Amino acid sequence: MAFAKKIEPGTAVRLAEIDPAYDAGLSKDDGEKLTKDLAKRLDELDDLHYEAGMNSVLIVLQGRDTSGKDGTIRFLLSSLNAQGCRVAPFKVPTPIELAHDFLWRVHAVTPPKGGMTIFNRSHYEDVLVVRVHSLVPEAVWRPRYEHIDAFERLLADSGTIILKFMLHISKEEQERRLLDRENEVQKAWKLNVGDWKERAYWDDYTAAYEEALSRCSTARAPWYVVPADKKWFRNLAIAETLVNTLEPYRKAWLERLEGIGEAAKAELEEFRRSQA
Ligand code: ADP
């Protein structure tokens, strides 16, 4: 069963039609058991991916404030091969970044072969926050959907497996999480008045997300909307999507590793013969 909602290319997304509290009728306990099994498989697949060095994996995480991007990263890092995994956060662009095209800073941190990079926010901010706050004119941000599509095509054609997750939370859940930050000492460091200010633009962000999801979900770089009101279900949906996406590569990665092993063995035998 698919727990995350894959956006089929060309569909018009309506976020209101996707329940942020969806849990497939699972209990938290059952969900966590499934996630544990999936995390094991993910670890194994990631090892093969790292050692075979044939592909790169790019995970894009987007979502409103408090939607759980950091928690998702913590979960993924606990299940992945630490050697090949990196996190790339995207903040307000620096003057140098702004002096380049919007994809310049993004291309610089895409994953190499064998690597996996998690984008904490991404190039999509350039059609989300930039659009909502009119940071550049529409004539500048609108062509970006096509630039993004071409960029992701380039990455995919170069062997990058791309998965894009939109962590979908409800307005009520966001309020609960923001209030928790005020009320719990251990969470207070996350307090940011900016989050409350952004909340006022809820509907504008909805429209911006809907267009990005509708315009930029492709077979080679699909978008998944992840019901994220329940953190355990969010992790389950992401683990399942990753395992389902990487599993079809297992055979090719194993074959490559066998090939590498055979070649190393032959070289060693040759060396021993020469020493005899
Ligand atoms: P977090 O991702 O944990 O919220 P910050 O609080 O540092 O981290 O937020 C990063 C901020 O950078 C966000 O408000 C985001 O909208 C902003 N940002 C990211 N990319 C861009 C961009 N291209 N243009 C303008 N703002 C951006």
Domains of the chain: 5-251 (3.40.50.300)
Does the structure show a pLDDT above 90 at 269?
yes
Q: How many CB atoms lie within 10 A of CB 196?
A: 13
Rounded mean pLDDT of the chain? 96
Q: Is 3 in the pocket of ligand 1 (CB under 6 A)?
A: no
For residue 214, name the pLDDT band (cuts at 50, 70, 90). very high
**Contact status, residue 132 vs residue 205, Cβ threshold 8 Å:** yes
Q: Tell me if 93 CB under 6 Å of ligand 1.
A: yes
Q: Quote the DSSP letter at residue 123.
A: G
Distance from Cα 83 to the centre of ligand 1, integer Å? 27
Question: Is the CB of residue 113 less than 8 Å from the CB of residue 53?
Answer: yes
CA 89 / ligand 1 centre spacing (Å): 9
- For ligand 1, say whether the CB of 198 is within 6 Å of any of its atoms: no
| 91 Cβ below 6 A of ligand 1 | yes
| Phi-psi domain of 85 (left: phi exceeds 0; alpha: psi -120 through 50; beta: other) | beta
* Residue 264 clears pLDDT 80, i.e. is over it: yes
C-beta separation of 75 from 238 below 8 A = yes
Sequence-distant (≥ 6) Cβ neighbours of residue 226 within 8 angstroms: 3, 4, 5, 165, 166, 167, 168, 234, 237, 238, 241
Reported as a pLDDT band with limits 50, 70 and 90, residue 182 is confident
The response to whether residue 136 sits with its C-beta less than 6 Å from ligand 1 reads no
Which neighbouring-strand residues pair with 226?
167
pLDDT for residue 81: 79
40-70, pLDDT tens digit by residue?
A: 999 999 999 999 999 999 999 999 999 999 9
The pTM for the full model equals: 0.96
Position 79 scores a pLDDT of 87
Half-sphere exposure (CA, 13 Å, Cβ side) for 209?
24
Residue 257's pLDDT is 96
Q: Which two tokens stand for residue 156?
A: 């995919």
Give the ligand 1 atom nearest the CA of 123: 23
pLDDT tens for residues 64-107? 999 999 999 999 999 887 888 999 999 999 999 999 999 999 99
pLDDT at res. 1:
67
Q: How far is the CA of 138 from the centre of ligand 1 (A)?
A: 19
Question: Between 175 and 80, where is the model more confident?
Answer: 175
- Does ligand 1 have an atom closer than 6 angstroms to the CB of 129? yes
User: 210: which DSSP letter?
Assistant: H
Q: How many CA atoms lie within 13 A of 178 on its CB side?
A: 17
**Span 106-133, mean pLDDT?**
98
Pairing of the two strands 223-227 and 5-6: antiparallel
